[in-house]
Structure formats: C-alpha cells, structure tokens
Structure 1
Amino acid sequence: MEADMNEAVINVDDTIDAEPMYEWDRDNPDMSVGTCYPNMDEFRLAVRQHAIKKEFELDTKHSDKERSKFYDDIKCDYINNNLVESWNAWIKEHKDLPVHMMADAIREKIMLLFAKRRKISTALSPGILPTVIHQLNAASRGLGHLNISSGHPNQAEVTEVYKDEEVRRHVVYLPQKMCTCRQWQITGKPYPHALAMITSMRQPDMGSFVYQYYSVEKFQAAYVGIIPNITDRNQWPEVDKAFKLYPPAQKKKESGRLRKNRIKSAREIGGKATRQVMCPNCKEYGHRGGSWKCSLTGTKKM
C-alpha cells in the first residue's frame, strides 16, 4: 500500500525563479545594512532576537518631548500650541467688526497693554521678576520623590523614585544651568531635578539660577516701545488708489448664530469627543437626513 502511494506521488516545486528566498539565522540574526527579511513579522522577530543577543534595551522612549525636539537658544516656559487660541479669545469681541475697525480696536488693546506693563516695570526692583521667584518657591515643595547623590558641590545625580524603585536618573550642573532632561535649558528656569539640588543648599539665591530672560531689565526692554496714537477714520487723509475697490462678494449666510468660541479638543477640559454624522439618504458625512446640504432632499432616492 505504501509503495503504491509513493509511486502515485507527483513531485511539485512551487518556487518561482524570480522570487527571492530569504533565510536568516534565528539565533543570531544579521542586522547589517542591506540585509533583507521575508516580511515585517519576521523582521520584528529578528530585531527582538538581536536585542536579546546583543543585550540592549529595545523600544526605549524619550523621557520628555523637550529632551529631543526643542531649540534651547530661545527660553520659553509655555511649550504648547495654544498661542492662536489665546489670541482669538483676546480679540473675540472685535472679530465681527469691519476690517479697519477691527485693526483699530486691536491697536488700541495692544497700546493699553504696553502702557500698563510699562508702568508695572518701572515699579520693580532690579533682578529676576518676583512672579518667577514665587513660582520657583512653590515648585520647590513636594520633591520627596527625588534622591540626590552629589560628589561635587556644583553637580549631582538626581534620581526619580517611584514605589521604592528607581525610574530615571539625570545629572544637574549648577554653574552651566544645565540638566540632562533639558527642561532647564529650554525654559530658562530650574525644574524639579535642579530645584531638588538647589533646595538642598543652605539659603540658596533662587534668582541666580534663572536665566536673564526673566529679569526686570528684559521685561522693561520688551515694553519700551510706544504704540502711536492715531485719529479716527473721518480724519484720515484721502488716498488715490488708482483703481476702484468693490465690496467683497457676499457669502451665503448659514442659519443660526455665528460661532465665536473655538471647538475644544477632546483632550482639553470641557472638550467633547466629536463624531461624524452620516446622512441616511445620500450616505455622505457632515449632515443629517432632511438637511438642506443633502443632495437628495426633496427627491426620491432611486
């Protein structure tokens, strides 16, 4: 019976001459440039085996976004993208005005702001801004989770401890105002790692560890400019534009009240997760059944 089956077997070779065959060492995969693998799953398996063989950590992440992305020549402690939203909220009351009236209203707001802060700057004593010192004093509390190991008065290792386990360790250099987490270099103000070392000193001068970007001198220089005063529009001189300017084409006004407040993201406080609505008639997103936006409104779907 077995002999008959062996005689009936048809030898089939399903390999294609033009198709490359990739083989790799499962115990010690080759990670040199140009090495090919059959598919992505095999490649991921090879990378993990290579990490075990060479004894290095795989899938490590940056400790913080500031550590690898931001340019540290410009000091700023507000590292976010809400500048446009803040500006829109500041001029929200004037956004519906005509262009010339809106520009004049914004000019007046900036003029008053400069005058107010210029007056505040003249009453401040030289040195670092008091608000910055208060912020650092408040941030210096609650740093018990940081352990300091210092072998030199000007530098130390600061270790973050969570549930009696070391999570991450950074090095702080006081004279250079540097920390390996790079938050001190980017913001210009010492952050928890540096504050843990600074507060371990006796009667530290907190202002000496802050970059001069937060000094009263820089604050005064920022608002030394004067916004010029101008007359109302009726007193502006007539200008020959050499062409006739027509009013802009009227856009069809949508029903309902105009929206002034921006839609908050789902990750913000007060934000809601949004989802697209599909029309049951035309199967398009963005409107409901019976809406005037539906191309099949008033018609029968075939």
Structure 2
Amino acid sequence: MSQLKQKTTLTPWAETIIEANKNACNIWMVYPISNSRFEVKSSTHKSVIVGFQQRTCTCRWWQIDGLPCGHVIKVLTMNRYEDCLEFALKDYFTKTLRKTYEEFVNSLPSASEWEIPDDLMIVKPPIMERRQPGRPRNTGRIPS
C-alpha cells in the first residue's frame, strides 16, 4: 500500500475548508475584549464573539465542525499568528487518518457463501388502518 504524500499535517479536505474560511474573512474587523476574547464584526455589522480559553465562537461553526471558522482565523491573523493547526481537532490530521486505516480489513465473502440462521424472523411493515395526514391525492382530476 502506497503512502500518501502530504505537504501539510491536515487532511486535504480540512485544508480546503480552512483556505475557504481564510478567503471569506478578509474585510472583517477585530476588536479585543480581553486577552482571550475578541469581537469580530463583518461587513453586514453582524457581531461575533471568539473565546480562545473555552474554544468557542458564537457562530458555533468552530464547536460543530472542529475546524477554525473564519472569525477565529481572522483573530489569529490580526494577532500575527501564522499557524491555526493547533485550533483544529486532531481528527482532521493526516496522522490520525493514517492510523484509522492502518489495520487490515477483511473483505466480505460473496452472498452465496453467507451463513443465514434458520430462526431468522421476517419483519413486515405495519398495517396502516388510518389514512396518513397530508393533502389528499387529486384523483378526480379531468385529464387534458
């Protein structure tokens, strides 16, 4: 199995997301609240708070995705912080991806070789006694 040659420590998918976030935040303004909290205002005057101690952003993309959102990247670039990799989840690192697939995975045999148990139950869909809610079908339509 050939090893993937990576220029960065993040996976290619995570790299493209971070690059898109970097490009989106060029015209935003950053205002410090404290040493670890910053307010980021976009061109539409929408205000977002970034907290580095709790690793939170009020847009919630940083917490949901695990990758730094554009607000976090803007604060890091304003503070002359070049590398935002330590603010990404370890799941997006190439090393973690390689560890995930380093063990051998057995392939499934063909369907004719499967062992099917004798006491297998067949589950049928429920009987619908009542009509489902929603708009009724137009069965009385006059064809054109």
Q: Do the structures match in fold with TM over 0.5?
A: yes
Task: Say if 1:189 and 1:209, in contact at 8 Å, map to a contact too.
Answer: yes
RMSD: 3.5
Q: Distance in 2 between matches of 1:123 and 1:189?
A: 22
1:169: which partner in 2?
47
Task: Say if 1:140 and 1:199, in contact at 8 Å, map to a contact too.
Answer: no
2:80: which partner in 1?
202
Instruction: Give the percent of matched residue pairs that are identical in Structure 1 and Structure 2.
Output: 20
Task: Say if 2:24 and 2:70, in contact at 8 Å, map to a contact too.
Answer: no
Say how many residue pairs are matched: 128
Change (3 A) 1:139 1:205: same
Change (3 A) 1:182 1:242: closer
Q: After TM superposition, list the pairs within 5 Å mapping 1:1-302 onto structure 2.
A: 122-124=3-5, 127-162=9-44, 166=45, 168-202=46-80, 204-232=82-110, 236=113, 241=118, 278-280=138-140, 288=141
TM-score (norm 2): 0.64
TM-score (norm 1): 0.35
Q: Distance in 1 between matches of 2:115 and 2:76?
A: 63
Q: Distance in 1 between matches of 2:114 and 2:57?
A: 58
Q: Offset at 1:187? A: 0.8
What is the one-letter code of the residue matched to 1:147?
M
Unpaired segments ≥5 residues, structure 1: 1-118, 244-274, 281-287, 291-302
What is the one-letter code of the residue matched to 1:278?
N
What is the one-letter code of the residue matched to 2:14?
V
Q: Distance in 1 between matches of 2:79 and 2:17?
A: 18
SS class of match (2:78)? coil
Q: Offset at 1:151? A: 4.6
Q: Distance in 2 between matches of 1:123 and 1:144?
A: 32
What is the one-letter code of the residue matched to 1:143?
C
Task: Say if 1:133 and 1:207, in contact at 8 Å, map to a contact too.
Answer: no
Once the two structures are superposed, what CA deviation does each residue of 1:27-86 show, in whole Å capped at 9, x if it has no partner? xxxxxxxxxxxxxxxxxxxxxxxxxxxxxxxxxxxxxxxxxxxxxxxxxxxxxxxxxxxx
Task: Say if 2:68 and 2:84, in contact at 8 Å, map to a contact too.
Answer: no
Q: Distance in 2 between matches of 1:157 and 1:238?
A: 61
